[in-house]
C-alpha cells in the first residue's frame, strides 16, 4: 500500500511510521553470497529516474533515496577489474613484483610518456627512467618496510618519435630554473599515444610507491590453451589491491612458480603512481618569479631613495652600507645621508621608519628630502629634529621614525648631535677605546609636543664613529643593548678604510642575505694627518679687537697668511678682498667678540668671520645711490659659495669658500 498521497492528512508521528512501514515492504533483499556481482550505478546521462527529468515518479515507486536518506541498495565494486580502474587513471601507473621489481603492468599514460614495456622484465633493465628518477632505492625501501613513500615534483622528459624516453631526477626547487627557461610543460589530463605522437613532452610528477600483494599466476595451461588465453596478461589480471601487512615476509626467490614467491604464496610488489603536478609547479614558479620581480622593484625603490653617491667631506672619510632584510617584497624604512654644510662642516644622518612596505619607504624618502632642506639652513641638530618631528606628524600620525642628526666641525673636534629615539652613536678613540654617546636626547619623530636637545661627544683626529639602525644589533631572543655591546666589541677591533669597516661589522654581527630586518650602517673617520698631507691642512685665526683699525689689521693678516700658503696671486687677491668685506660687514652690523678665521684644505680655502650678533645677513640688490649693502653681494660674486649660521653660544658666523685649482 502506498501512503504517499495520504501522508499529508496524517499527523507527523503517524506519517513517519507509515513511511517506514511502506519502505520496509518495498525494499529489495540483498543477493545471496556468492551470487552475481553487485549492481553498478548507471552513468549520469543514462539514469532512468524520472525525477531527474522533472517527471513525477510512477505510482507505487519510491526514489533511490527515501525520506530517511538511506538508499534501498548500495552498489559494490566487486565487478570492476584492475585494468578498468588503472587504465582510466590519467596518471602514470606501473606495477612491479618481487625483489627484482619485475614488470607486471603499465597503463596507457605510462606508455605514452616512456613507451611500451615488456611484462616480466626487471625494472633495472626495462624501466631505466625509474633509476634516473631515483625511484628504485625507494621501491626497495617500500618492499622491505611495507610502507608507502613519496617523492615530489620530479621532472620527466617525454620521448620523441623514434627516440628513447628520458627521465630527469629533479626536485621542485631545481625545476624552477627549467620552467623559467621557457620549456614547454606537459599539462594535466590523460595522456594517450596520439597526444604525444611526433613530438617530445615533459612535465613534473609526484611519485608515490605503495606496497601491494598480488595473487600468484595460475598453473601453466596446456599449450593450446596458452595460445588463446594471453598468458602474458596473467600477472596483471591477478593484481589484488589489498594493503600489504605491516611487516610482511619476503618470499623465497628459489621457489618454483613466479620469481620471488613460492607456489601459491601471494606476490609482494610495488604500485608506482605518478600524479601530474606540472600546473602546480609552473604556478609556483610563476609566483616565485613574480615575488622576485616585486622584491627587485621594492629594493630598487628603496635604493633610489638613498644617496646614489655619498658626499666626501674634506676632513672626514665616510662610507655606508644598506642591506634589505628578508626575501619578501616589503622593503623597510632605513636610510642615511651625508651633507656638506660649508665652512668645512658636515652633517651625518641616519634614521629608521618603523614598519615595512612601500608606505614606510615613502615616508623615509620624504624625511630624507626634508633633512637635506633643513640642513641648508645650517640649524643646530636639535632644531633640525624639531622641524622633522612636526613634518613626520603631518605625513602620517601613525608612522613613528627614529633619527640621529650629527654635525662635525673640524675646528672644534667634536660631534654635536641630537637623537630622536635612535640607538647611540659609537666613537672609537685612537687608542681603541669605544665610547657610547648619551641616551637619546628626545623621543622618536612623529610624537609631537616634545622638545629635543643637542649633545656632543669628542671626535678628534684618529677617531672613528659608527651610526647604525636596529637591524644590525636587534635579535628576537636577546635584548637590543646586548647587541649594542657586541657591536662595541667588534668595533673596537675593526680597522681599515670606512667601507672595509662597514663590511666587517656586517659580517661580524652575523648579517646574511636571509636576515629578517633592514640594516643601514654609516662609518666615518677623522684621519690624523702627518707629513705631506698635514701640509695641505692649515688654520689661522685673528681676534678682531678695537674699532675701525681692525679692518686694515684683518687685511694685512689675511694677505700674510695667504702668501705663506703659497696661493696663486689671483686667489690671494680674491681671498684678501673677501676677508676685508666680511670683516667690514661684521664691524658695521655686529658686536664683539669678533674673530677672523682662515682655513685651507686640500680642496678649498675657507674664510669665516664670527661676532656676537644673531642677525643673519642676506644678499640684496643695492641701488646705485646706496653707500652700503654691496659687501655680501661682492663676496657671493667672487667666491664659490657663501653662507651664514647662528653659533651655539649666541652670535653668528658668516663664511665663504674658494675652490683650489687642481694639482
Dist CA 411 CA 542 (whole Å):
14
**For residue range 567-598, what is the model confidence (pLDDT) as tens digits?**
999 999 999 999 999 999 898 888 989 999 99
Q: How confident is the model at residue 462 (pLDDT cuts 50, 70, 90)?
A: very high
Mean per-residue pLDDT, 193-201: 38
Which of 297-306, 448-457, 653-662 has the largest mean confidence?
653-662
Judged against a pLDDT cut of 70, whether residue 374 lies above it is answered with yes
Which is more confidently placed, 214 or 259?
A: 214
Q: Give the pLDDT of residue 372.
A: 93
Question: pTM, whole model, 2 decimals?
Answer: 0.62
Q: Give the pLDDT of residue 94.
A: 92
Per cent of the chain over pLDDT 70 is 73
**For residue range 430-459, what is the model confidence (pLDDT) as tens digits?**
999 999 998 777 889 988 767 889 999 999
Judged against a pLDDT cut of 50, whether residue 424 lies above it is answered with yes
Judged against a pLDDT cut of 70, whether residue 497 lies above it is answered with yes
**For residue range 73-115, what is the model confidence (pLDDT) as tens digits?**
777 777 777 777 888 888 899 999 998 999 999 998 888 888 8
Determine the Cα angle at 507 with ends 506 and 509, to 5°.
70
Helix axes 498-508, 480-493, angle to 10 degrees: 140
Mean per-residue pLDDT, 344-371: 87
Do residues 262 and 268 touch, judged by C-beta distance below 8 A?
no
Q: Give the pLDDT of residue 43.
A: 41
Which is more confidently placed, 481 or 249?
A: 481
Q: Give the pLDDT of residue 1.
A: 40
Sign of CA dihedral 365, 366, 371, 373: positive
Mean per-residue pLDDT, 378-404: 89
Per cent of the chain over pLDDT 90 is 39
Q: How does DSSP assign 13-51, residue by residue?
A: HHHHHHHHHHHHHHPPPPPPTTSSPPP-PPPGGG---GG
**For residue range 110-148, what is the model confidence (pLDDT) as tens digits?**
888 888 888 889 988 888 888 888 899 999 999 999 999
Judged against a pLDDT cut of 90, whether residue 273 lies above it is answered with yes
Q: How confident is the model at residue 606 (pLDDT cuts 50, 70, 90)?
A: very high
Sorted by sequence, the CB contacts under 8 Å of residue 221 that are 6+ apart come out as 229, 231
CA 359 to chain centre: 17
3-state secondary structure of 514: coil
Beta strands in 529-660 (DSSP E): 538-544, 594-600, 604-611, 641-646, 652-659
**For residue range 542-552, what is the model confidence (pLDDT) as tens digits?**
999 877 788 89
Q: Give the pLDDT of residue 331.
A: 67
Judged against a pLDDT cut of 80, whether residue 252 lies above it is answered with no
Judged against a pLDDT cut of 70, whether residue 528 lies above it is answered with yes
Dist CA 106 CA 94 (whole Å):
4
Query: Across all residues in the chain, what is the average pLDDT?
Result: 77
Sign of CA dihedral 626, 629, 635, 637: negative
Judged against a pLDDT cut of 60, whether residue 257 lies above it is answered with no
Judged against a pLDDT cut of 60, whether residue 170 lies above it is answered with no
Judged against a pLDDT cut of 90, whether residue 183 lies above it is answered with no
Which is more confidently placed, 72 or 369?
A: 369
Q: Give the pLDDT of residue 532.
A: 81
Q: Give the pLDDT of residue 381.
A: 93
| Strand partners of residue 106 | 94
Judged against a pLDDT cut of 50, whether residue 251 lies above it is answered with no
Mean per-residue pLDDT, 456-480: 91
Q: How confident is the model at residue 503 (pLDDT cuts 50, 70, 90)?
A: very high
Dist CA 355 CA 399 (whole Å):
8
Judged against a pLDDT cut of 70, whether residue 263 lies above it is answered with no
Pairing of strands 202-214, 239-243: antiparallel
Judged against a pLDDT cut of 90, whether residue 540 lies above it is answered with yes
Mean per-residue pLDDT, 13-19: 49
Q: How confident is the model at residue 246 (pLDDT cuts 50, 70, 90)?
A: very low
Amino acid at each position: 500500500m502506498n501512503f504517499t498521497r495520504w501522508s499529508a492528512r496524517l499527523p507527523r508521528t503517524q506519517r513517519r511510521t507509515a513511511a517506514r512501514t511502506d519502505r520496509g515492504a518495498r525494499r529489495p533483499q540483498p543477493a545471496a553470497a556468492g551470487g552475481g556481482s553487485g549492481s553498478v550505478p548507471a552513468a549520469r546521462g543514462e539514469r532512468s529516474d524520472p525525477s531527474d527529468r522533472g517527471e513525477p515518479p510512477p505510482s507505487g515507486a519510491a526514489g533511490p533515496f527515501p525520506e530517511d536518506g538511506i538508499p534501498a541498495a548500495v552498489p559494490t565494486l566487486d565487478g570492476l577489474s584492475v585494468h578498468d580502474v588503472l587504465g582510466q587513471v590519467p596518471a602514470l601507473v606501473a606495477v612491479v613484483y618481487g625483489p627484482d621489481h619485475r614488470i607486471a603492468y603499465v597503463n596507457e599514460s605510462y606508455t605514452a610518456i616512456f613507451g611500451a614495456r615488456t611484462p616480466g622484465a626487471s625494472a633495472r633493465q626495462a624501466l631505466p627512467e625509474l633509476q634516473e628518477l631515483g625511484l628504485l632505492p625507494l621501491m626497495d625501501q617500500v618492499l622491505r618496510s611495507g610502507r608507502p613513500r613519496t617523492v615530489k615534483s620530479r621532472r620527466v622528459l617525454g620521448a620523441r618519435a623514434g627516440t628513447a624516453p628520458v627521465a630527469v631526477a629533479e626536485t621542485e626547487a631545481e625545476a624552477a630554473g627549467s620552467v623559467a627557461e621557457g620549456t614547454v610543460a606537459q599539462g594535466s589530463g590523460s595522456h594517450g599515444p596520439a597526444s604525444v605522437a611526433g613530438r617530445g613532452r615533459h612535465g613534473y610528477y609526484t611519485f608515490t610507491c605503495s606496497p601491494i600483494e598480488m595473487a600468484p599466476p595460475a598453473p601453466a595451461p596446456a599449450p593450446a590453451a596458452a595460445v588463446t588465453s594471453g598468458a602474458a596478461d596473467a600477472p596483471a589480471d591477478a593484481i589484488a589491491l589489498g594493503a600489504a601487512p605491516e611487516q610482511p615476509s619476503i618470499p623465497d626467490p628459489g621457489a618454483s612458480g613466479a620469481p620471488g614467491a613460492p607456489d601459491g604464496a601471494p606476490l609482494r610488489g610495488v604500485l608506482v603512481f605518478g600524479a601530474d603536478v606540472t600546473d602546480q609547479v609552473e604556478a609556483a614558479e610563476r609566483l616565485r618569479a613574480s615575488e622576485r620581480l616585486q622584491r627587485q622593484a621594492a629594493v630598487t625603490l628603496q635604493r633610489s631613495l638613498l644617496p646614489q653617491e655619498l658626499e666626501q667631506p674634506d676632513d672626514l672619510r665616510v662610507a655606508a652600507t644598506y642591506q634589505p632584510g628578508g626575501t619578501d617584497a616589503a622593503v623597510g624604512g632605513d636610510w642615511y645621508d651625508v651633507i656638506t654644510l660649508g665652512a668645512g662642516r658636515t652633517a651625518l644622518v641616519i634614521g629608521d621608519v618603523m614598519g615595512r612596505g612601500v608606505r614606510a619607504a615613502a615616508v623615509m624618502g620624504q624625511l630624507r628630502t626634508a633633512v637635506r632642506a633643513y640642513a641648508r639652513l645650517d640649524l643646530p641638530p636639535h632644531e633640525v629634529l624639531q622641524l622633522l618631528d612636526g613634518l613626520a606628524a603631518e605625513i602620517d600620525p601613525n608612522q613613528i621614525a627614529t633619527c640621529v642628526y650629527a654635525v662635525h666641525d673640524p675646528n672644534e673636534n667634536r660631534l654635536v648631535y641630537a637623537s630622536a629615539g635612535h640607538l647611540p652613536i659609537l666613537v672609537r678613540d685612537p687608542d681603541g677605546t669605544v665610547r657610547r654617546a648619551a641616551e637619546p636626547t628626545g623621543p622618536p619623530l612623529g610624537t609631537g609636543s616634545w622638545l629635543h636637545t643637542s649633545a656632543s661627544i669628542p671626535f678628534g683626529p684618529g677617531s672613528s664613529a659608527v651610526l647604525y639602525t636596529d637591524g644590525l644589533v636587534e635579535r628576537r631572543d636577546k635584548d637590543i643593548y646586548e647587541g649594542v655591546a657586541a657591536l662595541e666589541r667588534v668595533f673596537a677591533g675593526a680597522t681599515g678604510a670606512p667601507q672595509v669597516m662597514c663590511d666587517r661589522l656586517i659580517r661580524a654581527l652575523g648579517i646574511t642575505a636571509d636576515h629578517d630586518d633592514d640594516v643601514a650602517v654609516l662609518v666615518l673617520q677623522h684621519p690624523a694627518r702627518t707629513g705631506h698631507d698635514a701640509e695641505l691642512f692649515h688654520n689661522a685665526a685673528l681676534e678682531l679687537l678695537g674699532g675701525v683699525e681692525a679692518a686694515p689689521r684683518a687685511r694685512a693678516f689675511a694677505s700674510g697668511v695667504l702668501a705663506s700658503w703659497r696661493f696663486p696671486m689671483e686667489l690671494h687677491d680674491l681671498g684678501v678682498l673677501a676677508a676685508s668685506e666680511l670683516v667690514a660687514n661684521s664691524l658695521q652690523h655686529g658686536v664683539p667678540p669678533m674673530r677672523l678665521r682662515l682655513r685651507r684644505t686640500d680642496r678649498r680655502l675657507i674664510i669665516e668671520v664670527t661676532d656676537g650678533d644673531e642677525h643673519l645677513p642676506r644678499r640684496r640688490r643695492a641701488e646705485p645711490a646706496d653707500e652700503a649693502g654691496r659687501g655680501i653681494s661682492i663676496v657671493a660674486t667672487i667666491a664659490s659659495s657663501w653662507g651664514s649660521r647662528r653659533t651655539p653660544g649666541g652670535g653668528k658666523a658668516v663664511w665663504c669658500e674658494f675652490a683650489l685649482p687642481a694639482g
